[in-house]
Amino acid sequence: MGDSKAAPIKEMPLGLDTTTEEEYASQSKLLQEFTSIPSIDKAWTFKSDDGIGSQAMFSISQPNILANKRRKSILSAHIFKEKNSSVNFHWSPFPVEMTGVSTVVPSPSGSKLFVVRNPENESPSQFEIWSPSQLEKEFHIPQSVHGSVYTDGWFEGISWNSDETLIAYVAEEPSPSKPTFNDLGYKKGGSTDKDCSSWKGQGDWEEDWGETYAGKRQPALFVININSGEVQAVKGIKTSLSVGQVVWAPSTKDVHQYLVFVGWSADTRKLGIKYCYNRPCALYAVRAPLYKSEANELELNSTEDVPVFNLTQQINSAFFPTFSPGGKYLVFLSARSSVDSGAHSATDSLHRIDWSTDVTLWPSAKIVDVIPVVMSAEDGCFPGLYCSSFLSNPWLSDGCTMIISSFWRSCQVILSVNVLSGEVLCISPADSNFSWNVLTLDGDNIVAVSSSPVNVPQIKYGCIVEKTTKAAAWSWLDVSSSIFKCSEKVRSLLSSLQFSIMKIPVKNDSDSLTKGASKPFEAIFVSSNSKKSDTCDPLIVFLHGGPHIVSLSSFSKSLAFLSSIGFNLLIVNYRGSLGFGEEALQSLPGKVGEQDVNDVLTAIDHIIEKGLASPSKITVLGGSHGGFLTTHLIGQAPDRFVAAAVRNPACNLALMVGTTDIPDWCYVEACGSKGKDIFSEAPSADYLTLFHSKSPISHLSKVKTPILFLLGAQDLRVPVSNGLQYARTLRKNGGEVKVIMFPNDVHGNERPQSDFESFLNIGVWFRKYCK
C-alpha cells in the first residue's frame, strides 16, 4: 500500500515543462510591469474660471488584466505659463476612475461634460450631463430609439452645437422587429419583450462592416436636447447610407441649423472597413431637427421633407470634416489615392471648401486642394500626408492654420498646415528620431507626447517663440507628470537600450522601378548600449501588418519588454509602408511575397554585414500581413530563422478570399491595382491558383523553423482557418508547432489577457530557441 500522506503529484499547465514554467514565472512579472504603464487616449484644455492659465483634462487608460478590460480614468491639471517662458502643470492629486463609461465629450466652453454609458445587453443607453460641480441631467435612451453610441474612432461622432443645448451623435439604429413564435407557431402582431410564453426568431440577416463590427447595427444620426432629454433621429438620410463623424455647421441665412457628416454607401455588400480607407465616402449636409421653445419645453416643429446635400461629389473620398474657428472654411481629409488604387491605405490629401451661408450653393462649391498626394519626395522633404485622426479643435487663432500629427517615414511628427497657402511645416524637433503626437491645443500652444522605442512617453508643451519669421520657430518644454510612471526595474532596463533608424538600400536590378520605389526603405534597430563581448544578442525581426501601415519610432510596451529580456529588434518598414510617398507604397501591390520578402532579407543582411546580428540567432515575428511575411520567410529562407511567431497570419490567400471580410484585399495585393476591377466574390480557378502561388502555404514543404501561432477565434479579417490549416499541415509534416487560441478575440488579439499571454509566450518561445 502506498503512503496515504504522500504529497499529490504537481500537475503542470498544458504545454509547459518545469524549465518553461520557471521562464514563465520570471518573464510574466516583468511583462506585468511593462503592461501596467498607462496611456493617454485624449486630452482637452479650457480657459480657467479665474482667467489665470488654463485647465487641462486627460483621458487615461491602462489594462485591467484580471477583469480583461481597459481601466479608464480622468486626470486634471491647471496649466500656468511663467514669465520666464517656462510652463507648470499643477496636477490633481489622483485620477478619477470612469467605471462603465464608454466616452466623455466636454462642451466647447468646458462648462459641461457629456458622459455616455453604453449597455452591455439590450438595456437603455445612459447619458449624463455634468457641470463642474455636480450631475445636472441623466437620460436613459431605450433600444426602441437607438442602440449603443458608436465610440469606435471611425463612425464615432459626438458634437455639441454652439449654444451647448443640443448634441448630435452617431448610434446604432433601433433594433428591427423580428418574427415572434409561441407553442402554436407564428404569432401575428409580435409580442413584448416581457412575454415569457413566446420567443423571438432571427428574421433576415443584415450585412455589417466586418471586423470589429460583428453584430453592430447600422450607424445612424441622432440629436438630443439636453434640457428636455428629447432624442430625434435626423430625417432625410437614405437607409443605404452609414453615417459617422458628425459636426455642426456654422449658422446659415435661414432659420435652420445644419449638420455635416460622413456617409458610406452600401446598397448590398458591405466590405470590411476597419483599417480600410479604400471605401468610398462623401461629406453630406442635412438639416438638424428644428425645436421651438414653449414654456421651456422644446418640441419638433417641422414635418416637411428634409434635403440632404452631397458636398463632395467631385471626389470619391472625404472624411474627418472640421470647420475653421470663424466658420469660413470646411476642411477635410481624403483617401482618394486609396480608393483609386484599391490599396487598403495610402497617401492622404487635404482639401478645403470655402463655406457659404447660402445652402443652395453647397452642392456646387469648389473643392480646393490644400495638400496633394505626394508621389516621391526628395531626401529630408515632406513625404506626404499620413494622418489617422484630427483633433476636435485643431486650429490656431489665426483661423487658417491646423495642427496635425502625421507619419514621416519611420517617425510620427507634428505639422502646421496653412489651409489657404498650402504651406506645410514640421514643427516637432527636426533633429529627433522620436515620434511626436499632438494631444490637444492650449490656445496657440500645443500639448503633445514624445516617445521612442526605448523611452516611455513624455508630455511636451510647444510654444511659438518667433512669429516674425516666415517659418515660425517652436520651443518644446518638458512637462513633469507621473502619468507614465514605471517601475525602477523597467526604467533601468530601458536605460540600457538604444535605438537608431537605418536606411536600407534597395536591392533590385530592375529598370522598371519608379523613382520613389528605388529609394532606400528604413528599419528601426533596438539594441543594448553596452556590448559586453564580440557576440551579438539574439535578434527579433518584427514585421508590421497591413501591408500599408508603418511601424513608428514610438514606445511599444510589448516590444520594449522583448528588448528587455535580451533581444535586439529589427523593425522593418519595407516598401509598401505608409510614410514614404505614394510611389514606394504602390510598388508593393501585385508583388507581395516577393518584394516585401526581399526587403526584409536585405535588411537582415544589412545588419549582419555591420556586425550587429549573428546569422545563427535570428527569430521573426509578425501579425496579419506581418504573419504572411513571417511564414513566407521561413519557407523561402528555411535555414535563416531559429524560431518564428505569428498572430492571425494570412497563410493562404486562396482560402482567405472566400472567408475574409475584405476579399478585395486578396485581389489587389496579389494582382496589383487592376485587382480592384477584377475582384469577384466567386474567384475563378485561375485566380485561386494565383492566390495559392502568392501565399506562404506554397512554400510549406520547405519549412524547418519552430513556429508559434496566436489566433483569435472571432477574427473576421483573417479567419482562424488560415492559421490552423498551415499549423496542422506543418505539424503533420513533422514540424514543431505551438498553437494558442483566444476564443473571444478578433483580429488584433488586443483584449488585455490575450495580449499579455501572447507576448509572454513569444518571449518564452524565442528564448527557448536562442539559448
Catalytic residues: 624, 715, 747
Residue 364 phi/psi, 5-degree rounding, is -100, 10
Query: Closest Cα to residue 613, out of 635, 636, 593, 642?
Result: 642
Which three cell numbers mark 35? 503592461
Q: Which of 502, 642, 493 is nearest to 566 (CA)?
A: 493
Amino acid at 592: V
* DSSP structure string for 674-702: THHHH--SS--HHHHHHHHHTSGGGGGGG
CA angle 581, 585, 587 (to 5 degrees): 125
**Displacement of CA 55 from its chain's centroid (Å):** 28
Q: What cell does 679 get? A: 475582384
d(Cα 555, Cα 38) in Å, to the nearest integer? 12
From the CA atom positions of the chain, what is the Rg in Å? 27
Compute the half-sphere exposure of residue 593: CA atoms within 13 Å on the CB side of its CA: 25
CA distance 390 to 552: 18
**In terms of C-beta density within 10 A (0-12 exposed, 13-18 middle, 19 or more buried), how is residue 255 classed?**
exposed
Which residues are CB-contacts of 101 (< 8 A; sequence separation ≥ 6)?
72, 115, 116, 117
Q: What do you get for the CA distance between the two ends of the chain, in Å?
A: 44
C-alpha cell at 313: 461629389
* 437 contacts 449 by C-beta, under 8 angstroms: yes
CA–CA dist 332, 311 (Å, integer)? 11
Query: What does each C-alpha distance from 361 to 234, 334, 419, 756 come to in angstroms?
Result: 22, 22, 21, 54
Phi (first) and psi of residue 54, to 5 degrees: -150, 165
Dihedral sign (CA 418, 423, 424, 426): negative
- Rounded to whole angstroms, how far apart are CA atoms 485 and 684? 56
In whole angstroms, what is the distance from residue 414 CA to residue 581 CA? 17
**In sequence order, what E strands does 467-580 have?**
473-478, 497-504, 521-528, 539-543, 568-573
Nearest Cα residue to 228 out of 329, 300, 331: 300
d(CA 669, CA 649): 15
